[in-house]
Structure 1
Amino acid sequence: MATPALIDSHCHIVFRNFEEDLDEVAARWREAGVQSLLHACVEPGEIPAIRALADQFPEMRYSVGVHPLDTEHWREDTLEVLRQAAQADDRVVAIGELGLDLFRDKNLDEQLAVLRPQLDLAVELDLPVIIHCRDAADPMLKELRRRQEQGCCPRGVMHCWGGTPEEMHQFLELGFFISFSGTVTFPKATPTHDCARQVPQDRFLVETDCPFLAPVPRRGKRNEPAFVASVAARVAELREQPLERVAEDTTANARRLFGLP
């Protein structure tokens, strides 16, 4: 049976731990059926290297943005840098990875000051956002609901989902997609398992977030795009559906959200 086509909707292969064997990593993701991948950006200094990777791998698209744990990279000209990078290359299909993270940092006001102009930029450029939200569902929902009331809330995805089903349904009500990573394969990730069972078939994606969060049975090792197949397989188990169905749904959803090939 042919390997079902998959899309890794969130990865980071610009990191140094891929320098030695990137061609082999690419061969493995192609063998695993990964037809497209979206490389997330965490700060503007990465953009030239990510662009070079997109030159090297035609199946790659990417985002531009500033991660909530990288607020120190925000400068007076950062918004213009992101705008120009997005407008200069049609392979930029999203703004992000942006969001809020109150697990590691407590500087909510500083994170909001970096988040808000990026959300505005996404609306301006009509691009979806990739949202990182950790221990911060309440302030994130508050920000997005305010924007929805004002007619300026972008579309997008809650990446590397780790919240509760109740939180998930609130983000779904705002029009967001939910993306499952290797955490869905962890035995004790019960809320994530419940979310994978409940999410509508037209509103979920799969991702690796590599090199982080390698799925079972590779937990603790370097993650890579090929391993998105393990994520999809576990989601299929939880949904009691064939892997082919989950691959078909998530591929169609990623293409619809990001305009992927």
Structure 2
Amino acid sequence: MLIDSHAHLDSPRYVEDREAMLRRANDAGVGAVLSIGIGEDPSEMHQALDICREYNGKPGMPRLYASAGIYPHNAVDADDAALARLDSLLAEPEVIACGEIGLDYYHKGAAHPVQREGLIAQLKIAAARRRPILIHCRPKDGETDAWDDLFEVLDEHWASTALGGVMHCFGGGWEQARRSLDLGFLISFAGNLTYPKAQPLRDVAARVPLNGVLVETDAPWLAPATLRGERNEPAFVTQTAQTLAELRAITAEEIASATTKNFARLFNLTV
């Protein structure tokens, strides 16, 4: 089976057909999905957990897990109340990760120092709750500014926990991948791996050890090349997995097996 390691199942774009969308994922061989709990702002972090509890146990559905976190753009809202909500969500058994959290210097949003402080505050909570983290990192085009600052924070505030995490929708180069692996992170590739102009990313994906990779959709965004411009959904993670298999000259079944084992190992799950 495949696991979609990152999907925003609480998106309003699924309001009309969320259950049918999840059934399509199951029919495509996607046995589990990590539902990302960032919402539009910290007041909506709980929605991913709510979705897990609504659909888990229903026949014909993938197993759902949840995360919770405060997105970099919303770091200005990471006040004591929001951080307390995060802490309480991470205590729930279905909430297996803190995220997506990190740094985003590409879009206009919270000031960089504010993002950094919000990230550090969440790392402390995740460490206390013994939850791996899901990192969003996006620098300005052609620069490594956000990556440089991210690794500085992780080296100081996270490496000693040995909890690791996931570099979600990875878009860096080999140096950033290597440093991530050294910190115990898995590298997760999304639908943009399939885009014609993404050869540098495919070159990185071909080098990452098989025990260091995951696949994801980042749904409803980043649909694979054959469906680009359409709403993405977990069933489409099969196309990213196929591309990754072709890069490594192995079968799609081997990619499915490896990424499922990697996910289970990181989050200490039986899947």
What is the number of residues matched between the two proteins? Answer: 255
SS in 2 for 1:77: helix
User: Do the aligned residues in 1 keep the contact of 2:46 with 2:68 (CA within 8 Å)?
Assistant: no
Letter in 2 for 1:102: Y
Where 1:161 maps in the other structure, the secondary structure is coil
Q: C-alpha distance in 1, partners of 2:193/2:14?
A: 24
Report the equivalent of 2:233.
224
CA–CA separation in structure 2 for the residues paired with 1:64 and 1:38: 11
Q: CA deviation at 1:153?
A: 6.0
Alpha-carbon distance in 1 for matches of 2:8, 2:158: 30
Which stretches in structure 1 are left out of the alignment for 5+ residues? none
1:154 deviation in Å?
A: 4.0
Classify the secondary structure of the residue corresponding to 1:133.
strand
Find the partner of 1:113 among 102, 111, 117: 117
Q: In 2 relative to 1, CA 257–152 (structure 1 residues): closer, same or farther, beyond 3 Å?
A: closer
Q: Deviations over 1:85-127 (max 9, x none)?
A: 121x200000111000001137210101110011111111111
Is 2:243 the counterpart of 1:234? yes
8 Å Cα contact 2:162-2:184 kept in structure 1: no
RMSD value over aligned CA atoms?
A: 1.5
Residue 202 of structure 1 aligns to a residue whose secondary structure is helix
For 2:71, give the aligned amino acid.
H
Give CA-to-partner distance per residue, 1:136-180, whole Å, 9 cap, x none: 11111111122367x346410100001111211111111111000
Task: Tell me which of 189, 211, 214 is aligned to 1:205.
Answer: 214
Runs of 4+ in structure 1 over 4 Å off: none
Q: Is the CA contact (8 Å cut-off) linking 1:10 and 1:38 kept in structure 2?
A: yes
Query: Contact between 1:147 and 1:153, CA under 8 Å: does it hold in 2?
Result: no
Distance across 2 between alignment mates of 1:64 and 1:23: 21
1:170 corresponds to: 179
State the TM-score, normalizing by the size of structure 2.
0.90
Give the alignment partner of residue 54 of structure 1, picking from 34, 45, 52. 52
CA distance in 1, matches of 2:46, 2:245: 36
**Pairing partner for 1:16 from 1, 5, 12:** 12
* Secondary structure, counterpart of 2:225 in structure 1: coil
Question: What is the aligned counterpart of 2:131 among 117, 127, 132?
Answer: 127
- Give the gaps of 5 or more residues in structure 2: 57-62, 140-145
CA deviation after TM superposition for structure 1 residue 51, in Å: 2.2
Offset, 1:55: 1.4
The aligned residue for residue 36 of structure 2 is 40
Letter in 2 for 1:19: V
Please say if 1:155 is aligned against 2:164: yes
1:39, CA displacement in angstroms? 0.7
Summarize deviations over 1:182-238 as a string: whole Å, max 9, x none: 010011112210111001111110000000100110011100000010110010111
Q: TM-score, normalised by structure 1?
A: 0.93
Q: Secondary structure at the match of 2:210?
A: coil
| Percent identity of equivalent pairs | 38
Deviation at 1:52, TM superposition (A): 2.1
Which amino acid in 1 is paired with 2:99?
A: G
> Residue 137 of structure 1 aligns with which residue?
147
Query: Could you say which residue in structure 2 is the equivalent of 1:63?
Result: 67
**8 Å Cα contact 2:76-2:114 kept in structure 1:** no
Contact residue 120 and residue 152 of structure 1 kept, 8 A: no
